[in-house]
Amino acid sequence: MKSRDDGATAGPQLGRRQFLGAATIGAGVAATGLSGPAAAYEGPSPQVDFPADPRTFGGGPPSTNNRAEIDLFDCEVEGHLPDLDGCFYRVGPDPQYPKPAKFSGDIPFDGEGHVSMFRIKDGHVDYRTRYARTQRWKAQHAARRSLFGMYRNPMTDDPSVKGLSRGTANTQLFVHHQKLLVFKEDSPPVYMDPWTLETRDDYYTFGGKLGSQTHTAHPKIDPLTGEYVSFGYEATGLASKDVHVFTADKNGNVTWGVTVQAPYAAMMHDFAVTQKHVILMVTQMAANLPQMQAGGVHFAYDSTLPVYIGVLRRGGDGKDVRWFKGANLFCTHVMGAWCDGDRITLDMDGGEGNQFPFFPSVREPFDPVKAQGRIRRFTIDLTRKSNDTYQVETLYPEVTGVLSRQDDRFHTLPYRWGFLSAGRSWAIFDHANKTSQLVTVPDYALSEMTFVPRKHDAPEGDGYLIGIGSSMKEAGRSDLILVDVKDIAAGPVARVKMPFKVVGQVHGFWADARQLPAV
Ligand SMILES: [Fe+2]
């Protein structure tokens, strides 16, 4: 490790903000500087030497990057592991190589996707991790160095990788039609074997039927039909306003697709689905071509741009899309959504300002108070033809957090139970009684959780929260923690005691064994 003071780290001293505190990605928050375009590299591959400065890409103490692909059979378990049969999958960025100094201001979310799996059955847990063998990972592996420049900016890439997918597969994963699909929202999914984590397809296009160059990290499954509902923004190229929305049946056959135009090209990280509608959100985190041409990252936050919520009918031709404006809130994740006829309710977590301090702001500086996320309930009335505004109220104003989740079996439907990463804790919301509870584990920082039903047909919210806890007294050593939602006062029902700090995570996903291919 060497210290680095080459100017690329100049900028505000940004600590880990709330969003990154809830995720467990290893890198610190980088101050995003602008660098010149890439030049052709000459000479041997550089020695692998990550920077010491935690504000730089991949920088920090030696434990920052994991990089080790691991198989650990029969992990140590403390407590009583519930009678579950399935896999808890996680994914997050884990830099494969350090970047050249000119790109050291890149953001932590540009690390290559490292997938981990906790296989739980018969009271035993086996752990496995593998990098997603993306086109990018394979090219860099062969060259033994970083070949891709700044976050979502192909203008900064090494000329040798022109035409390859830039996707890192580092954001979320999903099991559908018996495939583990791993996502980065600038590219199609990567298909991995759900048991071995072997990469089967580094550019999965649903049998060639994907009508978009991109694919969200947050597809949804209609619990009534098993349909896969998804979208891609910037669907026809860099900074394009085209948004492609599509569905696939439970076997992965594309059954519907339509392309609509957003008011402007911007981050559309998550979306929502009701039984009748697809709901899109355009945030003020806009694609910024001049910034990319100057060698910077893809996005810049502009508080003067309006937030839009777009609604279109599932199965329609897209001409019915309507865009609604209202209070400007920067929202990233959906908790739940449903409709009563053509009256829509959408719950997301969001702040009054930018929640991503690592992206440049073209107006005011980052404001950590405005970044605080709360549960925002949006309502949209489609029955009034002249209506072009959404209404919004803040639920549980006393609770701040990010990374909303729900019992996924109830997406598209009226729901009662919601979950949120709240600092080092997990928050549980009962919308029926309008109450909240906090799950804390002494001396541990809890990262994003996933809800696991007690049985596959258990009532909504009857089950466990599962997620990684980082021991603050043991340099971040990890426990996989399970808490019974119906008895949080009892504390964790089980802890899987890992002998090390596991690879970081943005998001996780639980797959019941009946969703997985027969062994
Ligand atoms: Fe996300």
Average pLDDT value for the chain = 92
Question: What pLDDT score was predicted for residue 161?
Answer: 97
Measured CA to CA, the distance from residue 307 to residue 285 in angstroms comes to 10
* Residue 41 pLDDT class (50, 70, 90 cuts): low
- Taking the centre of ligand 1 as the mean of its atom positions, its distance from the CA of residue 385, in whole angstroms, is 32
Mean pLDDT value across residues 356-360: 95
Closest by Cα among 375, 374, 329 to 353: 329
On whether residue 4 sits in a domain, the answer given is no
pLDDT tens digit string along 397-406?
Answer: 999 999 999 9
- Taking the centre of ligand 1 as the mean of its atom positions, its distance from the CA of residue 220, in whole angstroms, is 12
Measured CA to CA, the distance from residue 428 to residue 422 in angstroms comes to 10
- Taking the centre of ligand 1 as the mean of its atom positions, its distance from the CA of residue 84, in whole angstroms, is 26
CB atoms within 10 A of CB 456: 12
Q: Is pLDDT of 262 > 70?
A: yes
Residue at token pair 């590219």: 187
> Which DSSP symbol is given to 513?
G
Where does 22-85 show beta strands of DSSP type E?
A: 71-72, 76-79
* Residue 519 pLDDT class (50, 70, 90 cuts): confident
Mean pLDDT value across residues 444-458: 97
Q: What's at 25, amino acid-wise?
A: I
Total domains in the fold of the chain:
1
CB atoms within 10 A of CB 365: 8
Mean pLDDT value across residues 506-515: 97
Domain membership of residue 238 as a residue range: 18-515
Using only the alpha carbons of the chain, give its radius of gyration. Answer: 22
pLDDT tens digit string along 150-172?
Answer: 999 999 999 999 999 999 999 99
Mean pLDDT value across residues 250-263: 98
Residue at token pair 């355009």: 282
Question: What pLDDT score was predicted for residue 24?
Answer: 53
On whether residue 3 sits in a domain, the answer given is no
On whether residue 161 sits in a domain, the answer given is yes
- Taking the centre of ligand 1 as the mean of its atom positions, its distance from the CA of residue 7, in whole angstroms, is 31
- Taking the centre of ligand 1 as the mean of its atom positions, its distance from the CA of residue 404, in whole angstroms, is 9
- Taking the centre of ligand 1 as the mean of its atom positions, its distance from the CA of residue 249, in whole angstroms, is 23
0.75 surpassed by pTM: yes
On whether residue 126 sits in a domain, the answer given is yes
- Taking the centre of ligand 1 as the mean of its atom positions, its distance from the CA of residue 519, in whole angstroms, is 30
- Taking the centre of ligand 1 as the mean of its atom positions, its distance from the CA of residue 204, in whole angstroms, is 20
On whether residue 189 sits in a domain, the answer given is yes
Measured CA to CA, the distance from residue 185 to residue 42 in angstroms comes to 32
- Taking the centre of ligand 1 as the mean of its atom positions, its distance from the CA of residue 160, in whole angstroms, is 31
On whether residue 6 sits in a domain, the answer given is no
Torsion (CA) 456, 458, 460, 462 in degrees, nearest 10: -110
List alpha helices for 353-421, DSSP H: none
In Å, how far from its chain's centre is CA 505? 9
Indicate which CATH number applies to the domain containing 158. Answer: 2.130.10.10
- Taking the centre of ligand 1 as the mean of its atom positions, its distance from the CA of residue 41, in whole angstroms, is 34
CB atoms within 10 A of CB 135: 17
Write out the two tokens for 494: 């089980």
Mean pLDDT value across residues 394-422: 98
- Taking the centre of ligand 1 as the mean of its atom positions, its distance from the CA of residue 190, in whole angstroms, is 17
Q: Is pLDDT of 322 > 50?
A: yes
Closest by Cα among 178, 166, 195, 378 to 270: 378
Instruction: Show Cβ contacts of residue 164 under 8 Å, excluding neighbours closer than 6 positions.
Output: 135, 136, 139
On whether residue 10 sits in a domain, the answer given is no
- Taking the centre of ligand 1 as the mean of its atom positions, its distance from the CA of residue 43, in whole angstroms, is 38
Mean pLDDT value across residues 52-78: 95
Largest CA distance in the chain: 65
Q: Identify any residues that bridge with 510 across adjacent strands, giving them in sequence order.
A: 88
On whether residue 366 sits in a domain, the answer given is yes
Question: What pLDDT score was predicted for residue 43?
Answer: 66
